[in-house]
Structure 1
Amino acid sequence: MKERFIQTPNLPKGGVSLAVCDGRINNEIEDNIKKLGIRIIKTNRQSSLYEAVSYHPDIQFHHLGDNKIVIAPNIDDKFYYALEQEGFEIIIGKKYINSKYPEDVPYNVARIGNFAVLNIKYTDEILLDELIKRNVKLIDVKQGYAKCSICIVSENAIITSDRGIHKKAILNSIHSLLINPGHIELFELNYGFIGGCSGFISKDVLSFYGRIESHPDFYAISQFLNKFEKKYQNLSKGNLIDYGTLIPLKEYSIM
């Protein structure tokens, strides 16, 4: 079956064929993803980051759409070449990622259709330029972990526990469901974020690392997904866990 690059970041138009995942995903998650016919590129540990997010894809790079990716300059060669071998054009960012906030968030930008939610002050200049070149509308927020904080549902719909992001989204006519913070595991930290435990595996199916039913706002989440004609699929049993966004990069093409 032929493949094509996903045109709109995070939002495939068919079944996903290639995705990037945290290198620490457990065997259950990996097996379930592969059963769906999805190949995985795993991230490697980035020693300059603190342990909890050291493998997170949404910290290490940003997919601009099509075959273009902006990547942190201090990412390991193995991951870089894995993307290059898949035909991606790699644009090296200017800012190095490091463990001290906000030095870990230059590429943590949430692309929602033609919008990008980000903290402009902390975002890598090269990534900013690429977004501006594409006429993407920038929504400046205080939260540096913008992508971690946002579960993308459609080109104009999100789920978040961040009140600042929620307000800014509504001001820009993006539908937003505000949920309670917490209830998502993140290694040694207190809790993770909804964006970091989710990602699309096909046009209409949003996947979660863990059981979305375990979240106290599950009913509201499921109703919100139904409103935008999306289904959900759990990739593992047990509680939700923030491995960083599952980032779809290629999809199957029937052309």
Structure 2
Amino acid sequence: MRKNPFIPIQKAKAVIIDGSVSEKVINTLTELDIHVIKTVKCEEVYDAISYHPDIVIHPIDYQTLIIAPNVYDYYKDMLKNTHLKLIKGERKLKRNYPENIAYNVARVSRYAIHNFKYTDEKLKYYLEKLGIEFINVKQGYSKCSTCIVSDNAIITSDPSIYKECNKYSIDTLFINSGYIDLPGLDYGFIGGATGFISDIQLAFTGEYQHHPNFLDINVFLKKYGKKPVILSNKKIIDIGSIIPLVYN
């Protein structure tokens, strides 16, 4: 089984997180002894997603990150003292969909999930080099829409992701859309509001008791031995995923 870079093999040493996130979220992560690396604003995309890490970064594996050329220099400087390999992507992001989705690829099992018509070519090259197979879906914001739970399990509110992943025997919990904040838009997505901080701890950006699938989500997490960690007492918010890092 290929290791999923969105699920660390141990406690994350650091996370890449939305640079505009609340101090409460940052403080909670810091108290958990996790170093917080804030994103820089990607000026070329629209404001609601301009700080979202999953818009500009895709971890190929635990040691390799593909980064949009728009913000590559910032991360090259921020991560210069790590052993991470940073690769500059080919496709420069632009403001609107689908020209802002090139790196927003979800991963589960041996698969990558995306609308591959718009995926960065260099990212596709490195995924294929790892033997990753592609599940093509209509939803271009694939990582935003996909909460990875285990090696073969996800949560999503997107019909196309749910339909296609079922064909590949991926255990998929389908939930109601909405009930997750995303300032500037009507609502956000479950993938963008979560991220692993250890192999068993799945962080949620805020409280999600109000979500109609609250109990379903908890049962699904328990099924796979995962524990929710709530980072703030505010309502859950889409911040473009929490990307864990396990560098030396």
Question: Measured at CA, do residues 139 and 118 of structure 1 come closer, stay the same or move farther in structure 2, by a change above 3 Å?
Answer: same
**TM-score between the two structures when normalised by the length of structure 1:** 0.93
Partner of 2:235: 239
Partner of 2:190: 194
RMSD: 1.3
How far did 1:251 drift? 6.6
Partner of 2:133: 137
Partner of 2:32: 36
| C-alpha distance in structure 2 between counterparts of 1:42 and 1:238, whole Å | 20
Paired residue type of 1:25: V
Paired residue type of 2:201: V
Superposed counterparts of 1:37-56, under 5 Å:
37-56=33-52
Answer yes or no: is the 8 Å Cα contact 1:84–1:90 preserved in 2: no
Runs of 5+ unmatched residues, structure 2: none
How far did 1:162 drift? 0.3
State yes or no: 1:104 paired with 2:104.
no
Question: Greater share of strand residues, 1 or 2?
Answer: 1
Paired residue type of 1:215: H
* Residue deviations 1:74-119 (CA, integer Å, cap 9, x gap): 1152233212332221111110011111110000000113211011
Paired residue type of 1:210: G
State yes or no: 1:20 paired with 2:13.
no
Partner of 1:228: 224
State yes or no: 1:65 paired with 2:73.
no
Structure 2 SS opposite 1:139: strand
How far did 1:240 drift? 0.8
Runs of 5+ unmatched residues, structure 1: 1-6
Larger displacement relative to structure 2 (214-223 or 175-184): 214-223
Answer yes or no: is the 8 Å Cα contact 2:20–2:51 preserved in 1: yes
Overall identity of the aligned pairs, in %: 43
Partner of 1:77: 73
4+ residue stretches of structure 1 with deviation over 6 A? none
Structure 1 SS opposite 2:209: helix
| C-alpha distance in structure 2 between counterparts of 1:126 and 1:77, whole Å | 17
Superposed counterparts of 1:100-249, under 5 Å:
100-249=96-245
